[in-house]
Structure 1
């Protein structure tokens, strides 16, 4: 029996290290793909929504280095995945989006029909119908495109008549993995000129610093210079948070302002402006950018922009700065000030946000990874949780979508079943993906704990509403019992309404023999002082 195109697709995915893929199947090509993948040892994880499936696939790619794979049916399946595909684009995750299309003999059909490629075209780097003379080569090219910086999604529309056909004869050469360009000598010279004149540089690590090899280069560079390090949210853990040179997160806010204004140079190490807030660059020190790729938009005219391997660029610049410009006491004071800012705000009822984070830090097993949803709660979490490894915190920062923490945590639990995972989410974010609690149980996740900041509100937007002196309107949710909802899906559920209940509930959650959710009543009033302290 000759090999079919769908068999070739499954074989190439397996060859690139894909172990599982995610999505919601339809009744056509999805069935062929599930069977072909199983024959190549690739597990299919059925999710409750396509958006959650896309987020799981993207997180899997970030953690494993293999491309993520999402499968949807035609029409509503693909349409429902758009938010997750957008997250993969803006969070720089290599993702193959495989969707059913209409057969050639269905030209008369309008049911569930629209131009699917046109819908996702602004979000993908390439599109294909596997209709070229050498489909195996086409698959390889698509994977290479998805993995070339800036990494992102590609779209493949599957048509049964095509994918069930025999693979055309002829050998297909596997292209080598994409290589970063060599740093341009002129750009390196411009960076050297800035850094040789510097005695007090600050390093801001960005999402590219979490990639293989880059984190080690970052650690060598910072220690050679004795320079303080800030990390964007997606770079958290690329430089260990417990290192004496680590200060905390970079959000271009009030908490890190004093440090950056006392610097005489700033090095952006793999920082991608897609993570930055949409405000102008506010720092006067000359800034050098090290990046693996150029950017679509010029965020700021950096003094020097060195494009190439971060490891190579760091090696070329390692000897440019002599250590000693920063004292250990100065750096420790900056770190203490940031953590104090993250602990701003008290609770008149329930638990304060920072007290909840501190309690989880104290209770969590060593080596735990976290996933963090968008919302006000992410500020104390990202400032206070200590990460030691690249991708130690999974968070959407390019798109900054809500509803990402639980799917990302499920993906992390499946990728590394023995590593504990903690998902920090607000009540609003969890409600956007609540059905994925069922996915976690069905997929066999074990060491997974969800912590819900249940403040019955869109807390961050409420802060902005009050700042603009608008009436309090439209930000409240009815109170939800997430512990009971989790129990209905087969989780262990715990409710915490007062600080004295917190330690015991967390201890039981981390000791549970199945996924556990801790639903904590949080006083949202604390955010009205916490956000100004960190963001300004």
Structure 2
């Protein structure tokens, strides 16, 4: 039987196990949307902006472990998707973007909204392809899903010419590819274990590969067996339980000096499923030339990209840990390790939230103290980029896996739409997003999406009426020359209520916990606006100096 191109696309999506797809509707791929009407098992989430749709798909993929799917129309819609595609690339998130394209006879004529999509996105994606013959849809689209989820996962873009989707053909029967995890050679694993065993100051850095392989429990067992301090890579907090005695802290913005010194002084560093990002390595200064690096990653292209490894092992994190535990015999190497205890004690001291409360503004230390006390441990946290993140990363201890969904790309506007995607993936969990006022304004229209689909996320908006991160750098490098970073904002709580969501504004610490409880109890998408002191731009800032400055200015 002949089927249309649009139906063939959806047939592949069904075979690939797609449950949710995120889009802004577009005329150039109406054939796909029409075919989705016949498949109610795939829920189509229609967003208010393609950037929001792509963040939803990316957040859904992280929280579900499945391939995220987003769709948009030709040039204008596709380029709006770009921020989520870039986030998926830097975060190694499996994503397939299905993009409508201009009709084949019109290509190259600067047709309506024409962009050469395959070329435009080629450096952002693992693979890009334009399907110009309808009978090739099953072959190429199954390959797209395979490329997205295999090896180091990432985004794939598929361009679908409008007229091709309306063509009909008899389709060949293809199936989803069977994935086999690459296992390391036994001798490589034994060399790694021996190097760790004989090291005086070893450290293991756990990255996104641990999360993707669902290997957190294996890593915990390996760390206990080897008495090995574990550090989580930039925004990979939940790769290892933060309260475990082997946990030493995290890498990123505001990493404490004790941890950076411990890594720089390490004689052996095991990098497990991490690509060594600029932020995590403190501008690529983290490892010394004397450090012996054992780099384990599923993607061999990572090796030597930042640091040259002494031993490079191509394997996924789970396969490596399984064989490493066999090599150790699962017996503790050392019954006690003062260095591991000391590093964990320093982390626990550094991350202890302070019950600081104020009446004029909301003190972020006190807010985090209440957040930690009020939220269940399996809550999923998402976040935007911004200075507020310093408090979240310092004081929130991620104790369970699959509880953090955040952008290593540092994308503003990510928090709310990613929370929507994460809540759809894990509806039984609380999902709380953190945003600054600058980032929240970039995608706040997706409140309506959450209301329309009855997705009860909770958005905490930290409002200081400035682009805080940029203001910090501005005052550091160009003091007394503020320009372009002051903002004005609506009443976010009232705006949320106008959308049909639950909205509250909190102006002092004592009101926050009750507001959070009411937001949870409402069963609605909720926004809690938190008014904070614009003079306090970073965690750990001297509050007494700020108070004196404010007092002298009155």
Pairwise same-fold verdict (TM > 0.5):
yes
Residue aligning to 2:407: 396
Task: Assess if the C-alpha contact under 8 Å between 1:22 and 1:69 holds in 2.
Answer: yes
Task: Return the alpha-carbon distance in structure 2 between the equivalents of residues 348 and 277 of structure 1.
Answer: 39
Residue aligning to 2:550: none
Which of the numbers 475, 496, 499 marks the counterpart of 1:466? 475
Deviation of 1:72 (Å):
0.6
What pairs up with 1:224-239 in 2 under 5 angstroms? 224-239=225-240
Residue aligning to 2:33: 34
Residue aligning to 1:326: 338
Structure 1 moving runs of 4+ over 6 Å:
344-348
Which of the numbers 257, 264, 286 marks the counterpart of 2:292? 286
Which of the numbers 486, 504, 508 marks the counterpart of 1:494? 504
What pairs up with 1:17-416 in 2 under 5 angstroms? 17-29=17-29, 31-40=30-39, 41-106=41-106, 110-131=111-132, 134-172=136-174, 174-177=176-179, 179-184=180-185, 187-188=188-189, 190-251=191-252, 253-255=255-257, 256-261=259-264, 263-274=266-277, 276-277=280-281, 279-284=283-288, 285-295=291-301, 298-318=305-325, 319=327, 322-323=333-334, 324-326=336-338, 329-339=341-351, 349-397=360-408, 399-416=409-426
Moved more, 212-221 or 321-330: 321-330
Task: Return the alpha-carbon distance in structure 1 between the equivalents of residues 338 and 427 of structure 2.
Answer: 41
Deviation of 1:187 (Å):
4.6
Cα 1:528–1:129 shift into 2, 3 Å: closer
Over the aligned positions, Cα root-mean-square deviation in angstroms equals 2.7
Task: Return the alpha-carbon distance in structure 2 between the equivalents of residues 329 and 384 of structure 1.
Answer: 19
Deviation of 1:390 (Å):
2.8
Cα 1:457–1:404 shift into 2, 3 Å: same
Task: Return the alpha-carbon distance in structure 1 between the equivalents of residues 168 and 379 of structure 2.
Answer: 46
Q: Taking structure 2 as the reference length, what is the TM-score of the superposition? A: 0.88
Deviation of 1:84 (Å):
1.5
Q: Taking structure 1 as the reference length, what is the TM-score of the superposition? A: 0.91
Task: Return the alpha-carbon distance in structure 2 between the equivalents of residues 313 and 348 of structure 1.
Answer: 52
Task: Return the alpha-carbon distance in structure 1 between the equivalents of residues 101 and 478 of structure 2.
Answer: 50
Task: Assess if the C-alpha contact under 8 Å between 1:236 and 1:391 holds in 2.
Answer: no
Deviation of 1:115 (Å):
2.1
Residue aligning to 2:9: 9
1:485 aligns with 2:488: no
Deviation of 1:196 (Å):
2.6
Deviation of 1:479 (Å):
4.2
Structure 1 unaligned blocks of 5 or more: none
Q: SS of the counterpart of 1:81? A: helix
Residue aligning to 2:436: 426
Task: Return the alpha-carbon distance in structure 2 between the equivalents of residues 76 and 365 of structure 1.
Answer: 41
What pairs up with 1:438-457 in 2 under 5 angstroms? 438-446=448-456, 448-457=457-466
Task: Assess if the C-alpha contact under 8 Å between 1:281 and 1:300 holds in 2.
Answer: no
Task: Return the alpha-carbon distance in structure 2 between the equivalents of residues 185 and 93 of structure 1.
Answer: 29
Deviation of 1:299 (Å):
0.9
Structure 2 unaligned blocks of 5 or more: 544-554
Task: Assess if the C-alpha contact under 8 Å between 2:15 and 2:175 holds in 1.
Answer: no
Deviation of 1:244 (Å):
2.7
Cα 1:193–1:513 shift into 2, 3 Å: closer
Task: Return the alpha-carbon distance in structure 1 between the equivalents of residues 225 and 36 of structure 2.
Answer: 47
Q: SS of the counterpart of 2:300? A: coil
Moved more, 456-465 or 188-197: 188-197
Task: Assess if the C-alpha contact under 8 Å between 2:415 and 2:434 holds in 1.
Answer: yes
Task: Return the alpha-carbon distance in structure 2 between the equivalents of residues 136 and 109 of structure 1.
Answer: 29
Task: Assess if the C-alpha contact under 8 Å between 1:483 and 1:519 holds in 2.
Answer: yes
Deviation of 1:50 (Å):
0.5
Deviation of 1:38 (Å):
3.4
Q: SS of the counterpart of 2:462? A: strand
Task: Assess if the C-alpha contact under 8 Å between 1:462 and 1:472 holds in 2.
Answer: no
Q: SS of the counterpart of 1:463? A: helix
Cα 1:207–1:248 shift into 2, 3 Å: same
Deviation of 1:331 (Å):
3.9
**Paired residues, number:** 528
Deviations 1:460-495 (A, max 9, x none): 222222222522412221243211111111111111
Task: Assess if the C-alpha contact under 8 Å between 1:5 and 1:163 holds in 2.
Answer: yes
Deviation of 1:24 (Å):
0.7
Task: Return the alpha-carbon distance in structure 1 between the equivalents of residues 439 and 398 of structure 2.
Answer: 23
Task: Return the alpha-carbon distance in structure 2 between the equivalents of residues 169 and 116 of structure 1.
Answer: 25
Deviation of 1:170 (Å):
3.7
Moved more, 145-154 or 263-272: 263-272
Q: SS of the counterpart of 1:476? A: coil
Deviation of 1:53 (Å):
0.6
Task: Return the alpha-carbon distance in structure 2 between the equivalents of residues 213 and 506 of structure 1.
Answer: 31
Task: Assess if the C-alpha contact under 8 Å between 1:270 and 1:290 holds in 2.
Answer: yes
Deviations 1:3-62 (A, max 9, x none): 333222212212222111111111232x22122123232111111110111111112122
Task: Assess if the C-alpha contact under 8 Å between 1:5 and 1:136 holds in 2.
Answer: no
